[in-house]
Structure 1
Amino acid sequence: MKEINWKDKKNIQLVNSFILLKTKGETEAFLRDIMTKYEITEFANRLEAARLLSKNTQYLEITNKTGLSSTTVARIAKWLKGPLGGYRIVLNKMHHTHSQNNTGKGLSLHS
Protein backbone atom coordinates (compact mmCIF):
# COMPACT_ATOMS: atom_id res chain seq x y z
CA MET A 1 0.00 0.00 0.00
CA LYS A 2 1.18 3.50 -0.81
CA GLU A 3 2.48 5.57 2.13
CA ILE A 4 0.31 8.47 3.31
CA ASN A 5 1.56 11.91 2.31
CA TRP A 6 1.02 13.91 5.51
CA LYS A 7 2.20 17.08 3.72
CA ASP A 8 -0.71 16.89 1.27
CA LYS A 9 -3.01 19.88 1.79
CA LYS A 10 -6.12 17.70 2.25
CA ASN A 11 -4.40 15.46 4.80
CA ILE A 12 -3.13 18.49 6.73
CA GLN A 13 -6.67 19.87 6.73
CA LEU A 14 -8.05 16.58 8.07
CA VAL A 15 -5.49 16.34 10.89
CA ASN A 16 -5.99 19.98 11.83
CA SER A 17 -9.76 19.56 11.91
CA PHE A 18 -9.40 17.01 14.74
CA ILE A 19 -7.04 19.29 16.65
CA LEU A 20 -9.63 22.09 16.52
CA LEU A 21 -12.34 20.03 18.25
CA LYS A 22 -12.69 20.92 21.93
CA THR A 23 -15.59 18.84 23.28
CA LYS A 24 -16.96 15.33 23.09
CA GLY A 25 -20.10 16.71 21.42
CA GLU A 26 -18.13 18.52 18.73
CA THR A 27 -16.09 15.40 18.05
CA GLU A 28 -19.18 13.17 17.86
CA ALA A 29 -20.88 15.58 15.45
CA PHE A 30 -17.81 15.81 13.23
CA LEU A 31 -17.24 12.05 13.18
CA ARG A 32 -20.89 11.46 12.26
CA ASP A 33 -20.68 14.00 9.44
CA ILE A 34 -17.37 12.79 8.03
CA MET A 35 -17.89 9.01 8.36
CA THR A 36 -20.65 6.47 7.96
CA LYS A 37 -22.07 4.62 10.95
CA TYR A 38 -20.20 1.52 9.77
CA GLU A 39 -16.88 3.39 9.57
CA ILE A 40 -17.32 4.80 13.08
CA THR A 41 -18.09 1.32 14.42
CA GLU A 42 -15.08 -0.11 12.56
CA PHE A 43 -12.72 2.49 14.03
CA ALA A 44 -14.19 1.99 17.50
CA ASN A 45 -13.65 -1.77 17.17
CA ARG A 46 -10.04 -1.23 16.08
CA LEU A 47 -9.36 0.98 19.08
CA GLU A 48 -10.96 -1.61 21.37
CA ALA A 49 -8.79 -4.30 19.77
CA ALA A 50 -5.68 -2.19 20.48
CA ARG A 51 -6.81 -1.75 24.09
CA LEU A 52 -7.37 -5.49 24.48
CA LEU A 53 -4.03 -6.30 22.82
CA SER A 54 -2.31 -3.97 25.28
CA LYS A 55 -3.77 -6.15 28.04
CA ASN A 56 -2.40 -9.29 26.33
CA THR A 57 -5.86 -10.55 25.37
CA GLN A 58 -5.81 -13.49 22.96
CA TYR A 59 -6.65 -12.84 19.30
CA LEU A 60 -9.63 -15.21 19.35
CA GLU A 61 -11.23 -13.35 22.25
CA ILE A 62 -10.63 -10.03 20.48
CA THR A 63 -12.18 -11.25 17.24
CA ASN A 64 -15.18 -12.56 19.19
CA LYS A 65 -15.65 -9.29 21.10
CA THR A 66 -15.11 -6.92 18.17
CA GLY A 67 -16.13 -8.85 15.08
CA LEU A 68 -12.80 -7.94 13.47
CA SER A 69 -10.95 -10.52 11.40
CA SER A 70 -7.83 -12.13 12.80
CA THR A 71 -5.89 -10.45 9.97
CA THR A 72 -7.09 -7.03 11.12
CA VAL A 73 -6.24 -7.85 14.75
CA ALA A 74 -2.76 -8.96 13.66
CA ARG A 75 -2.30 -5.71 11.73
CA ILE A 76 -3.37 -3.69 14.79
CA ALA A 77 -0.91 -5.67 16.93
CA LYS A 78 1.85 -4.81 14.44
CA TRP A 79 0.93 -1.11 14.48
CA LEU A 80 0.62 -1.14 18.28
CA LYS A 81 4.27 -2.25 18.48
CA GLY A 82 5.41 -0.15 15.51
CA PRO A 83 7.60 2.95 15.54
CA LEU A 84 4.86 5.52 14.87
CA GLY A 85 3.02 4.66 18.08
CA GLY A 86 -0.37 6.18 17.27
CA TYR A 87 -2.32 3.56 19.19
CA ARG A 88 0.12 3.75 22.13
CA ILE A 89 -0.21 7.53 22.30
CA VAL A 90 -4.01 7.37 22.43
CA LEU A 91 -4.12 4.43 24.85
CA ASN A 92 -1.65 6.13 27.19
CA LYS A 93 -3.68 9.35 27.11
CA MET A 94 -6.88 7.38 27.73
CA HIS A 95 -5.19 5.60 30.64
CA HIS A 96 -3.94 8.91 32.07
CA THR A 97 -7.41 10.48 31.82
CA HIS A 98 -9.03 7.36 33.29
CA SER A 99 -6.54 7.35 36.17
CA GLN A 100 -7.25 10.99 36.97
CA ASN A 101 -11.02 10.47 36.90
CA ASN A 102 -11.13 7.19 38.84
CA THR A 103 -9.22 5.30 41.48
CA GLY A 104 -6.15 4.76 39.35
CA LYS A 105 -7.37 1.56 37.73
CA GLY A 106 -6.90 1.47 34.00
CA LEU A 107 -4.94 0.12 31.13
CA SER A 108 -1.73 -1.73 31.65
CA LEU A 109 0.30 -0.98 28.56
CA HIS A 110 3.24 -3.19 27.72
CA SER A 111 5.38 -1.13 25.31
Structure 2
Amino acid sequence: MTKEAKWTKELYGVILGLKTPEEARRFFRDLLTEQELIEFGRRWRAAQMLEKNLPYTEIVAETGLSSTTVARVAKWLNKGMKGYKLALARQNKEHQHYSSPSRKG
Protein backbone atom coordinates (compact mmCIF):
# COMPACT_ATOMS: atom_id res chain seq x y z
CA MET A 1 0.00 0.00 0.00
CA THR A 2 1.39 3.39 -0.95
CA LYS A 3 1.72 6.12 1.63
CA GLU A 4 -0.99 8.07 -0.21
CA ALA A 5 -3.34 5.06 0.02
CA LYS A 6 -2.62 4.83 3.76
CA TRP A 7 -3.39 8.52 4.20
CA THR A 8 -6.63 8.16 2.27
CA LYS A 9 -7.66 5.11 4.30
CA GLU A 10 -6.96 7.05 7.49
CA LEU A 11 -9.05 9.95 6.17
CA TYR A 12 -12.02 7.60 5.64
CA GLY A 13 -11.72 6.52 9.27
CA VAL A 14 -11.62 10.13 10.45
CA ILE A 15 -14.76 10.91 8.43
CA LEU A 16 -16.54 7.90 9.93
CA GLY A 17 -15.64 9.22 13.38
CA LEU A 18 -17.51 12.49 12.89
CA LYS A 19 -20.70 12.36 14.92
CA THR A 20 -22.92 15.21 13.75
CA PRO A 21 -23.59 17.17 10.57
CA GLU A 22 -22.06 20.19 12.32
CA GLU A 23 -18.83 18.28 13.01
CA ALA A 24 -18.77 17.18 9.37
CA ARG A 25 -19.38 20.73 8.16
CA ARG A 26 -16.52 22.07 10.26
CA PHE A 27 -14.13 19.31 9.23
CA PHE A 28 -14.88 19.50 5.52
CA ARG A 29 -14.68 23.30 5.56
CA ASP A 30 -11.18 23.05 7.01
CA LEU A 31 -10.17 20.23 4.65
CA LEU A 32 -11.57 21.61 1.38
CA THR A 33 -11.90 25.00 -0.24
CA GLU A 34 -15.34 26.53 -0.39
CA GLN A 35 -15.41 25.91 -4.15
CA GLU A 36 -14.53 22.22 -3.67
CA LEU A 37 -17.39 21.87 -1.19
CA ILE A 38 -19.78 23.52 -3.64
CA GLU A 39 -18.63 21.14 -6.38
CA PHE A 40 -19.18 18.11 -4.14
CA GLY A 41 -22.66 19.39 -3.30
CA ARG A 42 -23.46 19.86 -6.98
CA ARG A 43 -22.36 16.33 -7.81
CA TRP A 44 -24.40 14.92 -4.94
CA ARG A 45 -27.47 16.84 -6.16
CA ALA A 46 -26.86 15.51 -9.68
CA ALA A 47 -26.79 11.95 -8.33
CA GLN A 48 -30.10 12.55 -6.54
CA MET A 49 -31.67 13.92 -9.71
CA LEU A 50 -30.26 11.13 -11.88
CA GLU A 51 -31.74 8.57 -9.49
CA LYS A 52 -35.13 10.16 -10.21
CA ASN A 53 -34.44 9.85 -13.97
CA LEU A 54 -34.58 13.59 -14.52
CA PRO A 55 -33.21 14.81 -17.86
CA TYR A 56 -29.63 16.01 -18.12
CA THR A 57 -30.82 19.42 -19.28
CA GLU A 58 -32.73 19.90 -16.04
CA ILE A 59 -29.78 18.68 -13.96
CA VAL A 60 -27.36 21.00 -15.78
CA ALA A 61 -29.74 23.94 -15.32
CA GLU A 62 -30.25 23.32 -11.59
CA THR A 63 -26.70 22.40 -10.59
CA GLY A 64 -24.58 24.46 -12.96
CA LEU A 65 -22.54 21.35 -13.78
CA SER A 66 -21.47 20.67 -17.34
CA SER A 67 -23.23 17.88 -19.20
CA THR A 68 -19.87 16.05 -19.20
CA THR A 69 -19.75 16.12 -15.40
CA VAL A 70 -23.38 14.99 -15.18
CA ALA A 71 -22.52 12.11 -17.53
CA ARG A 72 -19.56 11.21 -15.31
CA VAL A 73 -21.78 11.20 -12.22
CA ALA A 74 -24.27 9.00 -14.11
CA LYS A 75 -21.47 6.61 -15.06
CA TRP A 76 -20.32 6.22 -11.46
CA LEU A 77 -23.91 6.03 -10.23
CA ASN A 78 -24.66 3.12 -12.55
CA LYS A 79 -21.30 1.41 -13.06
CA GLY A 80 -19.04 2.56 -10.27
CA MET A 81 -18.30 1.04 -6.89
CA LYS A 82 -21.94 1.55 -5.83
CA GLY A 83 -21.04 4.27 -3.35
CA TYR A 84 -23.61 6.69 -4.74
CA LYS A 85 -26.28 3.95 -4.70
CA LEU A 86 -25.45 3.05 -1.11
CA ALA A 87 -25.56 6.66 0.08
CA LEU A 88 -28.78 7.41 -1.83
CA ALA A 89 -30.48 4.30 -0.42
CA ARG A 90 -29.49 5.25 3.11
CA GLN A 91 -30.60 8.84 2.61
CA ASN A 92 -33.95 7.67 1.23
CA LYS A 93 -34.40 5.25 4.14
CA GLU A 94 -33.57 8.00 6.64
CA HIS A 95 -35.93 10.43 4.91
CA GLN A 96 -38.75 7.86 5.02
CA HIS A 97 -38.08 7.27 8.71
CA TYR A 98 -38.32 10.96 9.59
CA SER A 99 -41.26 11.72 7.32
CA SER A 100 -43.33 8.74 8.41
CA PRO A 101 -46.70 9.89 9.82
CA SER A 102 -46.57 7.15 12.46
CA ARG A 103 -43.29 8.41 13.92
CA LYS A 104 -43.71 10.01 17.32
CA GLY A 105 -41.35 12.79 18.19
Could you tell me the TM-score, scaled by structure 1's length?
A: 0.84
| Overall identity of the aligned pairs, in % | 40
CA separation in 2, counterparts of 1:11 and 1:46? Answer: 20
Structure 2: give runs of 5+ residues left out of the alignment.
Answer: none
Matches within 5 A, 1:64-79: 64-79=61-76
Richer in helix (by share): 2
Deviations 1:31-88 (A, max 9, x none): 1000011111100000000000000000010000000000000010010001410100
Report which structure shows greater RCO (CA 8 Å, sep ≥6). 1
Corresponding residue to 2:51 among 22, 34, 54: 54
Matches within 5 A, 1:7-86: 8-86=5-83
Could you tell me which residue of structure 2 aligns to residue 98 of structure 1?
A: 95
**TM superposition shift of 1:103:** 3.1
CA separation in 2, counterparts of 1:42 and 1:22? Answer: 23
Structure 1: give runs of 5+ residues left out of the alignment.
Answer: 105-111
Secondary structure in 1 matching 2:65 = coil
Secondary structure in 2 matching 1:48 = helix
| Alignment RMSD (CA, Å) | 1.5
Could you tell me the TM-score, scaled by structure 2's length?
A: 0.89
CA separation in 2, counterparts of 1:55 and 1:83? Answer: 18
Specify the code of the residue in structure 2 equivalent to 1:44.
G
Specify the code of the residue in structure 2 equivalent to 1:12.
K
